[in-house]
Each structure stands twice: as C-alpha cells, then as structure tokens.
Amino acid sequence: MGTLRARTGDLGRHGRHAAAGPSRAPHGPTSSARPGGLATLQRTAGNAAVSALLRERGPHVQRASLVQDLHGLLGLPEHGRRTVQRDLKADLRAMIGIYGPPHYEGILSTIRAASVAERQAAVVDTGVLDLIHDRFSGVWATSIVSSLLEGSQTWDNPPATAFYKHFVVDSKSGRVPGTATMNCWESIMYAAHLAGVLSAAWIRNYYVSAGALPTTTVDPTPALWAQLGWSSSLPTYDPTAGRVPQVGDLVFYKRSTGAVPAHVAVYMGGGECMSLWTEPHGVNTVQRIGIRDVAGTIHFTRPPW
C-alpha cells in the first residue's frame, strides 16, 4: 500500500462515542448474538419480512429514501400505521417490531439495493448511525456502515489522504466528504468511527505510536500493519478446513514480495468483503468484492479496537 511518510499534528479528540466503543455483545446484534435456534429463526423471518415489504410496495411505488428505510428497520415499531408508500425507516421498524432483533443480512440486502446517492445520505444521517450503534455490537455495526460507504470515498495512500489530514494532522473527528481520499485500512477505521466504535483519538494514536508522528526518519509502515493485527502467523483462509473469517474480521492479502500485506479489507459474511483499493476491478471507491478476488495469501483476524 506504499510507504507512509511522517507528518505533524496534535493529539486527537474523541469521536461521537468513547475510544474503545460500546460494551455490547462481541458477536452479532445486541440480541440473539449467536446463530442457531431462535436467532436463526428470527434472522430467516427478518429476511423474509424485507422481501414481503418490498413486494407490498409494488413495482410502481417509490419509497421515500434509504435513510427512512433504515430508521424503520432499526427503530421501534409504529403500531397501527399502514401506508401504501413505505420507506426504509418504516420497513425496519416493522421488521424489528414483528420479528425481534435486527437482522443483519436483511439490512445489508436493503442497503445493497439502494443507489449510491441514497447510501451517501444514510451514512451522514445521525439518526441512522445512532440506531446502528445502539442495535449492533462493534464489528457488526462497522460492517453495516462499511456497506453504506459502497461507492463513496477515493483510494489513495497516506500521508496524502484527506483522512490522514483530518484525523491525524488537524486532530479532528466526525465526517469527511463522500469523495475524500483514504487508503484501505483508513476506510475501515472510518466506518468504525462513524458507527461509534472507534474514537478520533484512537485513530490519531494509531499513527503516533507507530512513529508516524512526530517527524521521524523511521518508516512506520511495518508498525502500522502490526498494530492492525497483521502477523504472518495469522490463520489462512481455507473453507475446506473450516478456516473462514467472521463478520467484521480484517482480511489481509499477502503477496510473495514485500514484508507487509498488499491490502486489507473487512469481511461482510457470505464470502464477501468491503474494500477500498483499485484492485480487482479498477474501481477507486469502496466496493464489494469476493474474498478471493484480490491476489495473495489470505489471512484474517479480529480488528484491534
């Protein structure tokens, strides 16, 4: 991913939430966190609910917005309200009210079906972000926000990125423009920050502790990868042996040349990752890829936050 050169700046401020994120269940939504039994039934029912609600709209019914749909799916049920023209907020409310906890796969399907413009509107909506943060634990919340970033941001390497200037040099927190430049790991950190899982102070200290700040003659790139959890001893992807990542895992692509990985993405489940890099499709915005689409030996681990 290139060599990071040193920049200067002051200690960062906290983001929307605490540095290490919320103390909720480590895997899955805040309720029915693990698959199996009732959780499996609820998840299946929830995904069916999404399909039913979409069918209810009919082919000629225009929904209001992805923002409203997400408010509905993640929010509280509105009893007694039935409208012909549904929206994403109402759909999510109905789904939660009838079937219980949020349903990750159904939410991702709804986000995937939306336009880039709708996703960009949703990812800057404080109500949507708060609902995601409240209803899902850290890695699941980060993965949902990563899905909302699909089609946004622009790939580049630090220290030239807008992300690096915003969080590290200028010690800011919060949102950057939808076309702002960032590299692969910065896009994952950005999703975690928007989800309320990762503070701006954590992001800045990540660079400072690796030697990127203050000015130094040391190349901090190997330390930055190590602080992400990278190690050549990490498990390698092998579905036949049962070695597969969990939702929210960092997926590293290590090639035969170079001491550090060529790329890192975040695992979404179902053999897919969200990735910000020009490979494999020549797209320089956040894109959904198959886990095998990028060349290299695939390693994976939980994120360090």
Each domain of the chain, given as residue ranges in start order, spans 37-135, 239-301
pLDDT at 135: 83
pLDDT at 131: 83
Closest CA to 274 of 182, 160, 201: 182
pLDDT at 165: 92
For 274-289, give the DSSP string.
EE-SSTTTT--S-EEE
In this predicted model, what pLDDT tens digit does every residue of 130-163 receive, in sequence order?
888 888 889 999 999 999 999 999 999 888 899 9
* 106 phi/psi in degrees, rounded to 5: -65, -40
User: Which pTM does this prediction carry?
Assistant: 0.75
pLDDT at 192: 98
What DSSP state is assigned to residue 136?
A: B
Q: What is the 3-state secondary structure (H, E, C) of 207-249?
A: HHHCCCCCCCCCCCHHHHHHHCCCCCCCCECEHHHCECCCCCC
Closest CA to 305 of 148, 168, 197: 197
pLDDT at 220: 77
What DSSP state is assigned to residue 29?
A: B
pLDDT at 65: 77
pLDDT at 132: 85
Where the chain has pLDDT below 70, the residues are 1-64, 75-102, 213-218
